[in-house]
Amino acid sequence: MADETVLAAARAWIAADPDAETRDELTAILDRAADGDADASADLHDRFDARLEFGTAGLRGVLGAGPNRMNRLVVAQTSAGLARFLLGREDEPHVVIGYDGRKNSSVFAIDAAKVLAGAGARVTLLPRLLPTPVLAFAVRHLAASAGIMITASHNPARDNGYKLYLGGDSAGSQIVPPADARVFEAITAVVDEDAEIPRSADYATADESLIEAYIAETAAAFALPDIDLPWVYTPMHGVGWETFSRVLTAADAPVPALVTEQVEPDPEFPTVAFPNPEEEGALDLALATARETGAELIIANDPDADRLAVAVRRAPGEWEQLRGNEIGLMLAWSAAERAAREGRTGTLASSIVSTPGLGVIARAYGLGYTETLTGFKWISRVPGLIFGFEEALGYLVDPEKVRDKDGISAALAALQIVLEQRVRGVGFDRYRASFVERFGWFGSDQISIRVTDLSEIGAVMERLRAETPASIGGISVVRVDDLRTGSAELPPSDVLRLQLGDGARVIVRPSGTEPKLKVYLDVAVTDGPAEGRATRGAALLTRLTDGMRALL
């Protein structure tokens, strides 16, 4: 049952909460808990026994009342703590704030602007709901001290988040340790002081020239062939289309057919179970539109347009959605070719859970290759970066413009590749075969286990550490890397990496943004006749996936 401490905390929260909706929500729960309702008591403890912390992408959580939810009071306290952190580093920090089309995104953005301005920071608010990459661009373009993006990216409709970027030495990348811990300490101090948080409406709104600069730089980074292509685009009820449409115009790109049901921002995401283009069924309406219009290509962004999904028509009526790793290798090959033509050197980078095929491309072109922990806050910081990606549909194709994944720039890069192959008269199957001939076959699969009790994830991780299998699917385990203690290349992280024979690999880790255990399976076949590599690799991947499912 709820004890008096949590009941008192809930009452204090109601007194301080500026939002009538969450006040009423919490009041109803508090009344039920006071009457002995066990479910209401458990709900109170879930909301008040912990506080949202900075994870893979800053704050992210379910909308609702309490410190362990996303709400106006948490945003205000977080912004006050951030202001304290920034003012400890410089006299007049400049913070730029963006927001997407999710529920309360604009409200949270204005609250953050008022609190930061009230603390003495200079604040620039983006003029309307815009993609995350535009905010990431603005941090660098305006030489800001920090950037805040109010978004929960591809999470369910009930979620929102507070994504934090830093300027200065971080050059516009997302926040990483130890800065995240210091910001959290400052937030905790604000909460403990329990004083009124000053607010001010003395903040600026960015003018259209900022968005125009992003559009111009994105379009100028690619040279699209002058050839037509029937294709389909969907922003998946998000904010991508307005900006992407202007990029396409500036780049003289062919005009796509739109998934009309998903073009306008809608925080309820009514046509998809999850607004994540990786999820099964998320592209169903795009596929239907493609069949109706005779399209050959589908490009999709997630709701804040920092991720890219691609599907290609293999034959009339036959479509294939490409895995994130294959899109990443396509974009990497193109980036390496461009660097070679321009005489540039640098590094290709990916997260440790992404395909090892990136290293093969890097070696083929004499480029550096770096693996990082999961998240673009790490990838974007790789020195000399030319291109970076992670398998979860995140791609950084223009690191000098944006230090985060950018689904709009990546979409234009993918469109360029397809148009170039069309000019050469090369279909996708031939393009894919050319890649396998040159670099090898790289296949990947993923197992995700969604839980309601987060302790289940820890229990599975501990079991795998204590009882590491000698083989998986009949493939021998030759080395186990437990990254919990870190390594010479990587800081500590709750990750198990199993290297197997026959070019196979398994990586297991908890998700940083969702209540999931994630298992990444990879197979590489780089030897033997090129025409047999795909068959051999697919068979190995099936054995590996079946074996891991049985183990779990």
Domain for residue 58, yes or no? no
Residue 391 lies in a domain: yes
Query: In this model, does residue 507 exceed pLDDT 90?
Result: yes
3-state DSSP call for residue 147?
A: strand
Q: What is the per-residue pLDDT for 138?
A: 98
Alpha-carbon distance of 163 to 183, in angstroms, equals 13
- Residue 362, pLDDT > 90, answer yes
pLDDT tens for each residue of 364-417? 999 999 999 989 999 999 999 999 999 999 999 999 999 999 999 999 999 999
Is 296 inside a domain boundary? yes
List, in sequence order, every residue forming a beta bridge with 96; answer none if it has no partner: 124, 147
Given 287, 303, 321, the domain boundary residue is: 321
Burial label, 413 (beta-carbon count in 10 A; 0-12, 13-18, 19+): buried
Q: Is 153 found in the same domain as 33? A: no
Token pair belonging to 234: 């969907």
* 457 and 423 inside one domain: no
153 belongs to the catalytic site:
yes
pLDDT exceeds 60 at position 1: no
Strands 308-315 and 318-321: antiparallel
Has residue 500 got a pLDDT over 80? yes
CATH code at position 261: 3.40.120.10
> Average of pLDDT values for 97-111?
98
Q: What does the alpha-carbon distance between residue 464 and residue 480 come to, in Å, rounded to a whole number?
A: 11
Question: Which residues, in sequence order, are bridge partners of residue 479?
Answer: 499
What is residue 55's predicted lDDT score, i.e. its pLDDT?
67
Q: Please tell me the number of Cα atoms within 13 Å of 328 on its side-chain side.
A: 32
Total number of domains constituting the chain:
5
* Band of pLDDT at residue 124, cut at 50, 70 and 90: very high
Say if residue 142 is in the same domain as residue 175.
yes
232 and 154: one domain? no
| pLDDT > 60? residue 212 | yes
pLDDT at residue 263, as a whole number: 98
**Domain of 244?**
210-321
Strand partners, 408: none
Do 10 and 133 sit in the same domain of this protein?
A: no
Determine the pLDDT at residue 458. 87
**Between 515 and 404, whose confidence is greater?**
404
* Closest CA relative to residue 409, chosen from 297, 525, 248: 248
Element of type H or E holding 45? helix 38-48
In the chain, the percentage of residues whose pLDDT exceeds 90 is 87
Given the residues 153, 334, 409, 511, the one annotated as active site: 153
172 and 220 together in one domain: no
Confidence of residue 3 (pLDDT cuts 50, 70, 90): confident
Domain check: are 155 and 84 in the same one? yes
Cα radius of gyration (the chain): 24
Please give the Cα distance from 112 to 78 (Å, whole number): 8
Do 391 and 489 sit in the same domain of this protein? no
Per-residue pLDDT, 490: 82
Residue 342 lies in a domain: yes
- Report which of residues 38 and 552 the model is more confident about: 38
User: Do 39 and 157 reside in the same domain of the chain?
Assistant: no
* Residue 90 DSSP symbol: -
pLDDT of residue 215: 98
Do 353 and 378 fall within a single domain? Answer: yes
Q: Which pTM was predicted? A: 0.94
Mean pLDDT, rounded, of the chain: 94
pLDDT of the residue at 480: 92
Percent of the chain scored above 70 by pLDDT?
A: 99
On whether both 99 and 194 belong to a single domain, the answer is yes
Residue 40: per-residue pLDDT: 94
Give a yes or no: residue 222 inside a domain: yes
From 438, 455, 485, the end of a domain falls on 438
pLDDT tens digits for 226-264? Answer: 999 999 999 999 999 999 999 999 999 999 999 999 999
**For 38-49, what is each residue's pLDDT tens digit?**
999 999 999 999
* pLDDT reported for residue 57: 66
Domain boundary among 289, 321, 353: 321
Q: Which of 520, 525, 529 is nearest to 539 (CA)?
A: 525
Considering the domain boundaries, does residue 36 fall inside one? yes
Q: What is the pLDDT of residue 514?
A: 72
Any domain includes 346: yes
The answer to whether residues 137 and 161 belong to one domain is: yes
User: 2 pLDDT exceeds 80?
Assistant: no
Q: Is the pLDDT of residue 529 over 80?
A: yes
Tell me if 65 is assigned to some domain.
no
